Amino acid sequence: MEWQRFEKPDYGYTIDLPRRWIEQPPDLKNSPLETARFVDPEDRRHSVSVFRSMPAPETTAERLAERAQSALERHSWTEFTVAADTIGSEPGLRLNTVKRDAGRVMALRQYFVARGDVGLILAANTVAAEEDDALLTEISERFGVLLD
């Protein structure tokens, strides 16, 4: 697979995505913390967004994941699991959850990493979780954290 790099030094990260993926403007109605949104124009079953937390003392991946889970629960996401994982080469957490509606299942995985007083969240949505597992894992492994 051919990859392309999107560099976001102002936000503290780089992200590598398959060559055909494109960047769309952040959906600030979704979250004012969203910095970028990426989609595959040939396959709308999956997408990736990146969020950057506001600076706050004692920012940790655990606190970011707890806040995310609370927000997602209010929007009917269920079946949460949280486990240690890496984002790029950084230790962090991975949260998995699903939303079910009319026989459809949307899966969401979010990766959390914090450095200093800032955190990054890589969020990947898919309606083909098993099929997309290797792709989404590789995207998270190729993610570059540039936070100081």
Query: What CA–CA distance (Å, rounded) separates 136 from 148?
Result: 25
- pLDDT tens sequence across 80-133: 999 999 999 999 999 999 999 999 999 999 999 999 999 999 999 999 999 999
Q: Cα–chain-centroid distance for residue 93? A: 11
CA torsion 67-111-123-42 (nearest 10°) is: -170
Whole-number percent of the chain with pLDDT over 90: 95
Cα gap 8→97, rounded to integer Å: 27
Q: Which phi and psi (to 5°) does residue 39 adopt?
A: -135, 160
Alpha carbons 36 and 8: distance in angstroms, whole number = 9
Task: Using alpha carbons, select from 50, 64, 72, 68 the residue that is nearest to residue 123.
Answer: 50
pTM (whole model) above 0.85: yes
Residue 11: domain span:
3-145
**What does the angle CA 31 – CA 61 – CA 85 come to, to the nearest 5 degrees?**
110
Number of domains in the chain: 1
Alpha-carbon distance of 121 to 109, in angstroms, equals: 10
**CATH number for 16:** 3.40.1000.10
> Given this model, what pLDDT does residue 148 score?
78
Tokens of 142: 């190729």
